[in-house]
């Protein structure tokens, strides 16, 4: 990504991240944000002595999951 396309402020970066997350959610079929969040919370609790992730950590995890799932799908569809 070219440096000129990076958000210039923290607030813009947050807004951009949520926009990407929303777009990724819409692109998914048979996707439930609530169900995925619940599974992530359960998984983190099992791995981290019962701790619960912060909302921003869940948002970041979902964004990464959606992004990488989409990337894997796109790269495999080119074969």
pLDDT over threshold 90, residue 72: no
- pLDDT of amino acid 64: 82
In a domain, 72, yes or no: yes
Dihedral (CA of 23, 6, 14, 45) sign: positive
Separation of alpha carbons 29 and 14, rounded Å: 25
- pLDDT of amino acid 29: 65
17-59 residue pLDDT tens: 888 878 877 776 676 778 888 999 999 999 999 999 999 999 8
Number of domains in the chain: 1
In a domain, 17, yes or no: no
User: Closest Cα partner for 69 from 27, 41, 8, 37?
Assistant: 27
Q: Between 55 and 64, name the one with better pLDDT.
A: 55
pLDDT bin (cut points 50, 70, 90) of residue 10 is: confident
* Residue 15, CA atoms < 13 Å, CB-side half-sphere: 7
Separation of alpha carbons 76 and 2, rounded Å: 26
In a domain, 64, yes or no: yes
In a domain, 61, yes or no: yes
In a domain, 66, yes or no: yes
Domain coverage including residue 61: 54-79
In a domain, 2, yes or no: no
pTM, full prediction: 0.53
């Amino acid at each position: 990504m070219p440096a000129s396309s990076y958000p210039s402020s923290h607030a813009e970066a947050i807004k951009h991240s949520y926009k990407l997350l929303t777009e990724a959610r819409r692109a998914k079929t048979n996707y439930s944000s609530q169900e995925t969040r619940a599974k992530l919370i359960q998984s983190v609790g099992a791995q981290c002595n019962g701790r619960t992730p912060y909302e921003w950590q869940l948002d970041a995890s979902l964004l990464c999951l959606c992004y990488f799932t989409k990337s894997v799908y796109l790269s495999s569809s080119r074969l």
